[in-house]
A = this chain, B = another copy of it.
Amino acid sequence: MNLHHLLRPKVVAIVGASEKLGFGRDVSQNMLACDLGDNLYFVNPNREQVLGKKCYKSISDIGRDIDLVIICTPMFTVNNILEEAAGCGCKGAVIFASGYGEAGEEGKLAQEELKNLATKHGIAVCGPNCAGFINNVDNIHGFGLPVSARQQKGNIGLVAQSGQVCSLLVSVPHLKFSYAISSGNNAVVGIEDYLEFLVEDEATEVIAVYLEGVKYPEKFARVLAQAAKKRKPIIALKVGASEKARQTTTAHTGSLAGSDAAFGALFKKFGVVRVHDMEELINACVVMSTLKKKPPVNSVAILNISGGEAAISADMAQLQGVRLAEFSPETLQKLQDMLPGYATPNNPLDMTATLVLNHDKYRATLRTVMADPDVGMLVIGLNPPELVAEIDKPVDYGLARSVIEVNNEGSKPIVLMPGMSRKRDPELREFYYAGSVPIVDSPMYGLSVIKKYAEFSLYDPSARTLEVAVGKDGQSGEKVSTETLSEHGSKAILKEHGISVPEEYVAQSEAEALKAAKAIGYPLVLKIDSPDIPHKTDIGGVKLGIDNDVALKNAFNEIMDNAKRHKPDARVNGVLV
């Protein structure tokens, strides 16, 4: 699907431009602050002007073709507006309205209708039930929530299946985006399409995605493979590891969660960096978008000026599975000669606080550690303040210049890792970033993403078969199924891609279940397999800890009974053993 009319439009109309609290006001203000000038049009039949800009009665009144229509009006008005926009050559639309796929059966029908209409006219729709998008490459902020004036063009492309998650991430002043897209219900343009756009986009060097589920797993896998071949990192905050989260996401954007294990296997195959909360996503974005070098080995040296921070970092490294380099005897000897008597050379290295004021020795220590052959990355424990006081500038910027100087000379990446998360002086942070030294939040998140950065750097796409079978959902983006991918179904797709998943069978009878048990061995978990029963536990569709043939037979029959009783109309494939 071509997203250029949607995300990089030349001519834009906002229908429902308004001064009243809501999407209509926020997106009008955001777009006025951009550079479209005469190529931006406001439409509102009830107003002459909005925010000082002329309003047209309708899209047709504009008398000119448009690329993108941003629709701020309620659900029941949307289809007519879309028809009218189509008549004016429109090929992109942002629809903020909710009440669609996330809102019960009636909403699902409305979404299907919207989809058919958009497909008929070839309109790429962002939403519905979304917050729109921010394009910092061309400075177009079709976003329905307030956008900070601080937005600066960056190299991170973000797509999020949650307006709130998108909005929170966009508010982080030290994350700089090329694009930030709140994709909403993905009625027309899928998450896979946005990802494909970002993989192809040259301004985007790092991709971040908040993911609840996908509709086109074939295409999704194909896009991940493209990214892997280009060595463009995808950082995925994928929810749905828990049953409760799967229930929530189905209600939320009507997304189809599928099996979390299947996503895990897919991510592993294609080197996708999986993170587990917003902080980890932010830290991964900072590290991936700032570092320019790759670690030669998967190990770190941690250099602190505080013994307490060094100890916390050491424990955290073990917790996160980060290997601390073993310093060579030469390195240890040099450090011993160089550091004050009370610093015992070790990794983490407590350089002691005296080095904060001795920048020559500080640099020399960093260089010594950088030269050690077992060190893959340098992790430097410093705590840039919230605001650098005038009197402290020589110390804070002196240290920064020292770190950057060593970074420029050396061949290994350097990351700044404070002992504790807090706001940092924006100018000082920018100074470090300009020197390709990222600042992570804290040892926990820092070490977690440092490890992931090393793994991504050492991931070798040429060592794997990244070819994926095309055809299932076709080049045109035709879907496999709008149904929930059943657990067995999503795993089957993975197997076609050569991704190993735990052995399992779908049993349609007691006898088949017993046969499967013989093949796999006890203890077993039994789960109902049905695309119509996404919440298995709710209907008694899951049985744990089955360890003999009798228990197996009972569990099989109970699950099938429960399914029949609670969901008589459900299509049941059988019981997953």
Contacts and interface: CB of A to CB of B under 8 A. Distances in A.
A162 interface: yes
A168 interface: yes
Contact of A244 (B98, B237, B308, B314): B314
B162 A318 contact: no
A164 B308 contact: yes
Contact of A419 (B102, B103, B278, B423): B278
Contacts of A408: none
A194 interface: no
A105 to B, nearest CB: 11
Contacts of A421: 278-279, 421, 441
B244 A348 contact: yes
A168 B419 CA distance: 8
A310 B252 contact: yes
A350 B311 contact: no
Nearest to A169: B420
A102 to B, nearest CB: 5
B308 A162 contact: yes
Interface in A343-380: 343-344, 346-348, 350, 353
A242 B161 contact: no
Interface residues of A, number: 70
A437 interface: no
Contact of A346 (B164, B247, B282): B247
Contacts of A318: 241-242, 244-245
A312 B248 CA distance: 10
B245 A315 contact: yes
A411 interface: no
Contacts of A444: 276-277, 279
A470 interface: no
Nearest to A168: B420
A186 to B, nearest CB: 14
Given A244-B347, A277-B316, A306 B165 contact: yes
Contacts of A248: 307, 310-311, 314, 346, 348, 350
Contact of A102 (B237, B245, B251, B342): B342
A252 B307 contact: yes
Contacts of A314: 239, 242, 244-245, 247-248
A443 interface: yes
Interface string A245-264: 10111011100000000000
A163 to B, nearest CB: 7
Contacts of A347: 244
Of residues A172, A311, A353, which shows the largest number of chain B Cβ atoms within 10 Å of its Cβ? A311
Interface in A461-478: none
Interface centre among A240, A318, A420 (most CB of B within 10 A): A420
A498 interface: no
Contact of A278 (B163, B277, B310, B442): B442
A63 interface: no
Contacts of A154: none
A545 interface: no
Contacts of A324: 244
A318 B438 CA distance: 31
Interface string A307-346: 1111110111111000010000000000000000111101
A107 B104 CA distance: 73
Nearest to A250: B344
A44 B237 CA distance: 59
A350 B309 contact: no
A315 B240 contact: yes
25 contacts: A102-B307, A102-B342, A162-B306, A163-B306, A164-B309, A212-B308, A239-B308, A241-B315, A241-B319, A242-B315, A242-B318, A244-B346, A244-B348, A245-B311, A245-B312, A248-B311, A248-B314, A251-B350, A252-B308, A253-B307, A276-B319, A278-B419, A279-B421, A282-B420, A421-B421
Given A210-B308, A252-B350, 9 more contacts: A103-B342, A104-B342, A163-B308, A239-B315, A242-B317, A242-B318, A244-B346, A247-B314, A248-B311
In the A-B complex, the 7 residue pairs with the smallest Cβ-Cβ separation, listed nearest first, are A162-B308, A252-B307, A164-B306, A103-B342, A251-B344, A242-B318, A245-B314
